């Protein structure tokens, strides 16, 4: 690993090699939904909660102040208005992310989708460019496609995560498999840090706190959670509560007290 990549990774991962990332690339995928209509406002709230990094598309990155947290620029995109939503295409280069001031970049791959070949080819190309420029790469590896019956099945999740590591990613984001024992299998078979995705909005804050706690017990290196943070009643407090679990080893009950519950 180059010195540049090591230095940038330290802006994303804390000394415990764990991280709390808040992705807000949803504006391209599903539009300006609740919580991300005013990007600077939500970013200020996340910084106040001491999120380790935010993840946004290049246009937003150019227009907001992320001082106080790491900046990850998303390189992949496709809207849900497309008839082929699972086919993510590259919309930003590593070089452009460097010019913006990114600390890392991210690529989205839907393993099992009809266009998996194109997405994997792009992942390999971006990984090489990241090595050349000393840029950390977060690969969002999701099992999605005609042959995928259960996107949270341990076998397909472990396979997707391993593909990302095999092709050069520095951090893998993927689905939580639902329990500690099965997710240990994912962690043990992936040679780079794994962070969990948040998925759809949970009914209660306790749900996402419990999922985070269980994933950390399984060996995860943190989380990359969007809607369950930026659509929370108090995004600053939910980030603090999640960080207490990820970085402080807090229990779910202790984290709930941060939320005043």
Which residues does the annotation mark as catalytic? 25, 142, 173
Written as six digits, the tokens of 72 are 């990850």
Q: Using alpha carbons, select from 57, 139, 140 the residue that is nearest to residue 102.
A: 57
Q: Using alpha carbons, select from 21, 25, 79, 27 the residue that is nearest to residue 53.
A: 21
Gap between the Cα atoms of 179 and 77, Å rounded: 30
Helix (H, G, I), strand (E, B) or coil at 105: strand
Estimate the crossing angle of helix 205-218 against helix 180-188, to 10 degrees: 50
In sign, the C-alpha dihedral spanning 5, 11, 16, 18 is negative
Roughly how many angstroms between the first and final C-alpha of the chain, as a whole number? 43
Gap between the Cα atoms of 250 and 20, Å rounded: 14
Q: Using alpha carbons, select from 110, 114, 137 the residue that is nearest to residue 124.
A: 137
Gap between the Cα atoms of 219 and 32, Å rounded: 34
Note whether 133 and 98 are within 8 A (CB).
yes
Q: What is the DSSP letter of 150?
A: -
């Amino acid at each position: 690993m180059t010195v540049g990549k090591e230095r940038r990774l330290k802006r994303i991962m804390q000394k415990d090699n764990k991280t709390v990332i808040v992705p807000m690339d949803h504006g391209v995928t599903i539009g300006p939904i609740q919580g991300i209509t005013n990007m600077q406002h939500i970013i200020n709230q996340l910084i106040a909660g001491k999120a380790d990094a935010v993840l946004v598309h290049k246009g937003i990155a150019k227009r907001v102040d992320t001082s106080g947290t790491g900046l990850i620029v998303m390189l992949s995109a496709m809207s849900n208005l497309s008839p082929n939503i699972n086919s993510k295409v590259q919309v930003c280069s590593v070089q452009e992310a460097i010019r913006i001031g990114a600390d890392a970049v991210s690529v989205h791959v839907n393993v099992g989708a009809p266009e998996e070949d194109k997405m994997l080819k792009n992942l390999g190309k971006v990984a090489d460019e990241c090595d050349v420029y000393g840029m950390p790469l977060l690969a969002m590896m999701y099992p999605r496609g005609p042959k995928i019956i259960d996107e949270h099945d341990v076998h397909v999740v472990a396979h997707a995560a391993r593909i990302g590591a095999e092709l050069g990613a520095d951090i893998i984001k993927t689905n939580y498999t639902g329990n500690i024992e099965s997710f240990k299998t994912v962690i043990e078979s992936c040679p780079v840090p794994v962070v969990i995705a948040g998925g759809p909005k949970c009914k209660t804050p306790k749900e996402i706190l419990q999922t985070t706690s269980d994933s950390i017990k399984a060996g995860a290196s943190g989380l990359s959670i969007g809607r369950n943070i930026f659509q929370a009643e108090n995004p600053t407090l939910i980030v603090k509560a999640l960080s207490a679990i990820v970085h402080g080893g807090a229990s779910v009950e202790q984290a709930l007290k941060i939320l005043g519950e």
